[in-house]
Structure 1
Amino acid sequence: MTDTTGLVALKVERTGRIAEVTLLGPSKGNAMGPDFWRELPLVFAELDADPEVRAIVLTGSGGNFSYGLDLPAMMGDWAPLLAADALAGPRTTFMKEIRRLQDSVNAVANCRTPVVAAVSGWCIGGGVDVIAAADVRVASADAKFSVREAKVAIVADLGSLQRLAGIIGEGHLRELALTGKDIDAARAEKIGLVNDVHADQEAALAAARELAGEMAANPPLVLQGIKDVLSLNTDRQVADGLRYVSTWNAAFLPSKDLTEAVQAFMERRKPDFKGE
């Protein structure tokens, strides 16, 4: 039986063979702070090990899936590691921190139980990383998606650049990643980021539950086998890509542009990047 006591950023509920994982925040827009990154791999490991759970629905509370990484909450610990004059020690520590967050998202992708993401409202940055790790995605008509890291002087490093090419194609991925633009649910459906778009949040969640129920009715070991076979050609490529980007960001992420991005975010103004 899954033990979900003591959770802060996530809520887990069971209905028959379906587990529902809901992002709670506690930051605005379910932004992903320290509690989220600690709890996500624990929850999915528990669900993966629970034979009574045959499918998982992943969604967000309130009107949004997630605003993505909670920069103010995370930057306190990261600031010394991102100093322009940081030597090998701090940079190695930061690389390990990136890989810890990657492992959190990997827990969703590596879960042997099928995962259906139901997205409403904003799904930004880390939110896209997480839904890219799910097996299937559905959305409400008000959903908006953004691989926004470029706008905050970051190379996306938690899985979007590695997983989305196989979902939406490399051309669409390059457009989203290089522009950092927002797209609506209709565009997301057109490019294959989501399978279906529904009228509102309630309808999208109902559709995700129905889809999870269809999966849960099938033999569980067969579902595990399907996921294992489908991931055969991508697991190594994703793992290599994650390892490379963590090393890249540990070396090159500290920059004046990153500092400018954080300051502009805090001051609610448009950043002025200099390429430094």
Structure 2
Amino acid sequence: MTAMTDLVALKVDRTGPVAEVTLLGPSKGNAMGPDFWRELPLVFGELDADPGVRAIVLTGSGRNFSYGLDLPAMMGGWAPLLGQDSLAGPRTEFLAEVRKLQDSVNAVARCRTPVIAAVAGWCIGGGVDVIAAADVRLASADAKFSVREAKVAIVADLGSLQRLAGIIGEGHLRELALTGKDIDAARAEKIGLVNDVYADQDALLAAARELAGEMAENPPLVLQGVKDVLALNTEQRIADGLRYVSVWNSAFLPSKDLTEAVQAFMERRKPEFKGE
């Protein structure tokens, strides 16, 4: 697997027909910086093409799944494209950047091999986008989830708004997305975000590996067929939604509130939004 040799943000292990993909960071809390977004589609593309891989477990290193988008690492490259007076050229470049990130998450959803997300600790923003693209989600009792983009003056644009309605229902999705609130593992299980909750991280990983092994025992072409048939119900709606939100954000994301959100984040204070 040539793409797997120099990974920085991800690690891939194999046990028989089950591959385990682990988020490594390198930022605190496995925050998702440029390396992560570059490597995610490479890893899932290679695993998808490997007939020896029949199930995949996706998890995070350390105590947390992911703090989500690494704002400091990503905003450096985006800042010139997000000026409040930026014209069509920079905004078109930013549109391409958003769609590149969307394609990274889509690589998880497109993978013909079953994907099980095993979430311990925090799973925020982009982390929720990624687990929403998995087939099954499991959690440890200490897991916490947040569709937090609204709190940093961003409309979530990497898949949560498109995929979660079919997982947790639109009412729960609207509550999470409009408040940016945190929910614990018990609430996540109650609304269907995760299938089961386990006592701790060790029990979670053992359960995820066992479930992956159970899936891997079934005929691989049938598993691919199940995923393909199920995707028919949602694939076009999700694609349309992703395309729309990428255009929306390229037009409306630059704002004084976004600048305030980034400054408040860096200064570790509560932002003061003014709708500007």
Instruction: Tell me the distance in 2 between the aligned counterparts of 1:262 and 1:99.
Output: 22
Matched with 1:111 is 111
**Cα distance, 1:4 vs structure 2:** 1.4
Quick check: 2:68–2:126 contact (8 Å CA) kept in 1? yes
Aligned pair count? 276
Residue 12 in structure 1 maps to residue 24 in structure 2: no
Instruction: Tell me the distance in 2 between the aligned counterparts of 1:165 and 1:210.
Output: 28
- What is the identity, as a one-letter code, of the residue corresponding to 1:215? M
Matched with 1:44 is 44
Matched with 1:22 is 22
Instruction: Tell me the distance in 1 between the aligned counterparts of 2:205 and 2:105.
Output: 21
With the length of structure 1 as denominator, give the TM-score of the two structures. Answer: 0.99
Instruction: Tell me the distance in 1 between the aligned counterparts of 2:250 and 2:158.
Output: 13
Show CA shifts across 1:60-114 (max 9, x none): 0000000000000001100010000000000000000000000000000000000
- What is the identity, as a one-letter code, of the residue corresponding to 1:118? A
Structure 1 segments, 4+ long, off by >2 Å, are none
Instruction: Tell me the distance in 1 between the aligned counterparts of 2:118 and 2:47.
Output: 18
Matched with 1:265 is 265
**Cα distance, 1:249 vs structure 2:** 0.1
Instruction: Tell me the distance in 2 between the aligned counterparts of 1:76 and 1:193.
Output: 33
Instruction: Tell me the distance in 2 between the aligned counterparts of 1:2 and 1:211.
Output: 28
Matched with 1:122 is 122
Matched with 1:82 is 82
Matched with 2:158 is 158
**Cα distance, 1:3 vs structure 2:** 5.0
Where structure 2 has 5 or more consecutive residues not aligned to the other structure, the ranges are none
What secondary structure is seen at the aligned counterpart in 2 of 1:226?
helix
What secondary structure is seen at the aligned counterpart in 1 of 2:4?
coil
Quick check: 1:2–1:50 contact (8 Å CA) kept in 2? no
Quick check: 1:138–1:208 contact (8 Å CA) kept in 2? yes
Show CA shifts across 1:105-126 (max 9, x none): 0000000000000000000000
Instruction: Tell me the distance in 2 between the aligned counterparts of 1:259 and 1:3.
Output: 36
Matched with 1:275 is 275
Quick check: 2:125–2:147 contact (8 Å CA) kept in 1? yes
**Cα distance, 1:2 vs structure 2:** 7.1
Instruction: Tell me the distance in 1 between the aligned counterparts of 2:3 and 2:145.
Output: 32
Matched with 1:133 is 133
**Cα distance, 1:140 vs structure 2:** 0.1
- Greater shift in the superposed pair: 218-227 or 1-10: 1-10
Instruction: Tell me the distance in 2 between the aligned counterparts of 1:5 and 1:209.
Output: 23
What secondary structure is seen at the aligned counterpart in 1 of 2:12?
strand
Matches within 5 A, 1:186-197: 186-197=186-197
Show CA shifts across 1:33-73 (max 9, x none): 00000000000000000000000000000000000000000
What secondary structure is seen at the aligned counterpart in 2 of 1:250?
helix
Show CA shifts across 1:126-154 (max 9, x none): 00000000000000000000000000000
Quick check: 1:8–1:24 contact (8 Å CA) kept in 2? yes
With the length of structure 2 as denominator, give the TM-score of the two structures. Answer: 0.99
Where structure 1 has 5 or more consecutive residues not aligned to the other structure, the ranges are none
Matched with 2:67 is 67
Matched with 2:221 is 221
What secondary structure is seen at the aligned counterpart in 2 of 1:231?
helix
Quick check: 1:2–1:47 contact (8 Å CA) kept in 2? no
